Structure 1
Amino acid sequence: MSVTEAVASLTPSKEGEIEQRASDIENALPRHPPFQNEYTDNSHVPNLSVLRIFWLFFTQFGLFAWGGPVAQIALIRERLVVRDQWITLARFNRVFAVYQILPGPEAAELCMFFGCLAGGRIGGLAAGIGFILPGFVLMLVASYVYAVVGFGNVYFNASFRALQPMVAAMILRATHKISEHALLSHETKKPNPWLFAFAILTAINSALRINWFISLGVYGLINMALVRRYWLIAGLLFTLQYVGYALYVVFRGVPSPLALALGVARVPDLAHLFVLGLVAGSLSFGGAYTAIPFIHVEAVLLGRWMPEQAFIDCIAIGNVLPAPLVIFATFVGFQGGYLHGGLGYAFASATVITLGMFFPCFIMTIIGHPVLEKLVHNQFLAAFFDGICGSIVGVIAIVAIQILRDSVGSTGRVKPTTADGVLAVATQDSIAAVLYLVTLVVLYRFTHKYTAIVLVLCGAIAGQFLFV
């Protein structure tokens, strides 16, 4: 056999080997659309009517939205992405990343996103309403019972007295959890010392009574400058905030505690309550706990139409309902309306503030996710949102401390006039402190989605034995 014939006889075998290896490699690769299509594949999204979309999200998600945002998001992911495969997991993760940065409850926004896929913008509206409606109705009922029974009932009061320090512990734990992702760099996903500094400086600004909204804007802009390495601009912005504060102190004096508020809800009528919900909803970066400071300062500190203890109670109720935690705003609106115009006005007020709270996330989601995705992944805007998120951690920390003080101590309650009364109050405060510490230990030890619900139920029962 000649050399030529030998080569010719080997070549087909070699080609066949190469083809076989290529086939083996292709078979070993995961079977999914090409990488560039992972974020846009909608091949399994059903085309549903508006009524079917509403019923789907009402029965499958709204009625089972127990356990807070983590449990709600896990439920949506499991049923629509893993089981029904409406979209790829890669696209879901990217969509979720967008909603983590934007204001509003992520679970509600994800429901609206999937509703838009199945039925357009009207479908998104129907999905959002279906998800929110069960919790809204239950909170209305709870608000009515609370307003009718109130603190005049010793047993009712005892349960909520036990829940107040437990809620304070939940807010402190939530501050830690929020900081775990809010203080991460948008680019590297690693802890960013600048964002940590923004949180501390915002807390200091709050102690100086510099309005939170000023701090949020300033540190958002500073972070934009830092990302572009505009060190001089960042230093100038940082200095100007304190120069402005010094000038204010010289000419107007030290700001009062009420300077932390915008004054959008001095009177709890329908218009002011809608604006209160709108502002809180627009600035609720990182979830419901970031809406707490804004409503707290307006309704409790400035407006003074809602007692501190009632505000803490509504957060406790929100923790046990199948709804986003921002549904606590419904309770706030109900109490404000009940004070301002009676029972009928209270139901209207609760509805109005809830509409204001959810309006921003409805608008942002239904306008179109592709636009949001482009905006959020813009380096400049992403840096601004990161700065705001870092600053908000400081805001929540301050409110967590305030609520701890008011729930464990006797601030805002009737002061005793006898020695026995003083002893009784001191005993109750000591019990409240123990409840706070026990709750904090449980929250760090057990991370199950129903831990908060179990704690609230146990606290309500324990209150009957501890404070009656």
Structure 2
Amino acid sequence: MTAHTGRPQEVSLADATKVWAKIAALSFGGPAGQIAVMHRILVEERRWLSEGRFLHALNYCMLLPGPEAQQLAIYVGWLMHGTAGGFIAGLLFVAPGFLAIMALSILYAMLGGVGLVSGLFFGLKAAVLAIVIQAVVRVGRRALKNGTMVGVAAGAFLALFAFDVPFPLVIGIAALIGFVGGRAGADAFLAGAGNGAPASKPEAPEGETLLGEGTPAHARPSFTWSMKISGVLLGLWLAPVLLLGFALGWDNVFSQIAVFFSKMAVVTFGGAYAVLAYVAQEAVDTYGWLRPGEMLDGLGMAETTPGPLIMVTQFVGFMGAFRNADDLPPLLAGVLGGVLTTWVTFTPCFLWIFLGAPFVEALRGARALNAALGAITAAVVGVILNLAIWFGAHTLFGQVREVRTLWVKIDAPVVSSLNLAALLLTLAAALAIFRFKAGVIPVLLTCAAIGVGLHWIGVIDWLAS
């Protein structure tokens, strides 16, 4: 590769918008893939910012609830062009996925019972299960560098799997342990920091990046600006929630969607995989928005479209409103439910960045924050393992029953209900991913095609019987 020389030219907001649109169109493969795309374009190709500055922004985003890749885009867009740049980068990042999942949700609602569609999502479920297992291994290798981190991960897994401890409490305790450990000087808590970060590369000299290492004038902490932008974003986020609740009643499906996913926006630490099991359980058991296994269908949509994986919540909101439409046409209710879910899920992301980023810029390299991040990342390994087991039970078995002993509560699959076709296809997907290093998109598309073929010839029903 030819070495870069000289300082990059200034970039206008219009030109930056084109770059953010390109990043949005290429944002497949989950947060690791999305962050890698941003790193390649922003750090290596465009040289807007240095490696160290990119990782500093990423570390802050990893400490926040919500999709870290989108928040990283907002952060860099804000650093480059202020508030307008942050809004453009963040909105463009979710736009392609929003449109794609809305279209797929409509097709799913209209044709979900048709044989070919059922076969398609049968294949996607098997592939997604293998991908979730890969996520456990990938994050585990990066985060569990010592016995302390292994202990945090094991504790998080047992708390969720066996004792039904609330997810936000698990993440909060992990962050507190890491923060205290970092303040006490325990190096073990720094080993897992930087989840999703690209491999380290030599950092460009200060003069060769557009931003350099100085702080732009608009990025300096300002209490007045922070209060103004926070007030506007809080209003945009919470006003629809309150209006729906008071106008339609808090038991209305739209009010429930607004409240539930607003809470999710506050507790979704560690990325989409870490919270999906909780969302799926609530959507199935508490609200009845989804049937068992349908969360995997939605995750398959999110995996095969650009944008954050947490966009799967749009599918959940769509189906919840579609099935509880009351006086509205079901498809219209579904579309409104999907739009509402997306609004309350992603509006807070702008709040977290615009409120906190100026102060984080002034506190680059804080040890305690990195230690808290390391502990959260380790806990997320246990959370994703719990997710993999939950997904596996509902993908590979037709029946799952609750088993209680003293304070322990687990969901145990009924062995006789094993779906052999699902097991074989999941094993094939895992072999492709782990042995042959196949990419996520080829595995998903291949499994979907196999699922359609198996359903076409009746193999799925025969093996499941």
TM-score range, shorter chain: 0.7 to 0.9
**1:225-264 mapped onto 2 (5 Å cutoff):** 225-229=180-184
Residue 274 (structure 1) aligns with:
258
Aligned twin of 1:12: none
CA distance in structure 2 between the aligned counterparts of 1:311 and 1:216, rounded to whole angstroms: 22
Answer 1 or 2: higher relative contact order, Cα 8 Å, separation at least 6. 2
Task: Supply the distance in 1 between the matched residues of 2:105 and 2:252 (Cα, whole angstroms).
Answer: 16
Q: Which has the larger radius of gyration?
A: 1
| Conserved 8 A contact 1:44-1:86 | no
Corresponding residue for 2:223? none
Q: Is 1:85–2:47 an aligned residue pair? A: yes
1:155 corresponds in structure 2 to: 116
After superposition, the Cα gap between the structure-2 partners of 1:120 and 1:220, relative to the gap in structure 1 and judged at 3 Å, is closer
Q: Which residue of 2 aligns with 1:9?
A: none
Residue 237 of structure 2 corresponds to which residue in structure 1? none
Aligned counterpart for 1:320 among listed residues 287, 290, 304: 304
Aligned mates of 1:287, 1:214 — CA distance in 2:
16
Change (3 A) 1:114 1:220: closer
Could you tell me how far 1:409 is from its partner in structure 2? 0.9
Secondary structure in 2 matching 1:462: helix
Q: CA separation in 2, counterparts of 1:61 and 1:292?
A: 25
The 8 Å contact of residues 30 and 303 in structure 2, kept in 1 or not, is answered as: yes
Change (3 A) 1:198 1:113: same
Amino acid at match of 2:137: H
TM-score (norm: length of structure 2)? 0.72
Letter in structure 1 aligned against 2:427: L
Q: What is the rounded CA distance, in whole Å, between the counterparts of 1:101 and 1:326 in structure 2?
A: 16
Q: How many residues align?
A: 374
Secondary structure in 2 aligned to 1:322?
A: coil
CA RMSD of aligned residues (A): 3.0
Match of 2:131 among 170, 190, 205: 170
Aligned-residue offset at 1:392: 2.7
Give the structure 2 partner of residue 440 of structure 1: 430
> In the alignment, is the contact (CA less than 8 A) between 2:140 and 2:381 conserved in 1?
yes
Q: What does residue range 186-265 of structure 1 map to in structure 2 within 5 Å?
A: 191-206=145-160, 207-229=162-184
Shift of 1:179: 2.4
**Partner Cα separation in structure 2 for residue 85 and residue 53 of structure 1:** 13
The reply to whether residue 348 of structure 1 matches residue 336 of structure 2 is yes
The one-letter code of the counterpart of 1:47 is S
Identity of aligned residues (%): 26
Deviation digits for residues 178-224 of structure 1 (CA, Å, limit 9, x no counterpart): 223343xxxxxxx1322221221222222122223333223332333
**Partner residue of 2:291?**
307
> Unaligned stretches of 5+ in structure 1?
1-29, 34-41, 184-190, 232-263, 414-424
User: 1:221-273, CA deviations, whole angstroms, 9 ceiling, x for partnerless residues?
Assistant: 23334445599xxxxxxxxxxxxxxxxxxxxxxxxxxxxxxxx9x96723332
Q: Which residue of 2 aligns with 1:113?
A: 75
What TM-score results when the alignment is normalised by the length of structure 1?
0.72
SS in 2 for 1:103: coil
Structure with the higher fraction of residues in helix conformation = 1
| Alignment match, 2:13 | 48
Is residue 269–residue 337 contact of structure 1 (8 Å, CA) maintained in 2? yes
Runs of 4+ in structure 1 deviating by more than 6 angstroms, as ranges, are: 30-33, 425-428
- 1:441 corresponds to which letter in structure 2? L
Is the 2:62–2:373 Cα contact (8 Å) retained in structure 1?
A: no
- 1:268 touches 1:305 (CA, 8 Å); kept in 2? no
Provide structure 2 residue ranges, at least 5 long, that are not aligned to the other structure: 187-244, 402-414, 459-465
Check conservation: 1:305, 1:339, Cα contact below 8 A: yes
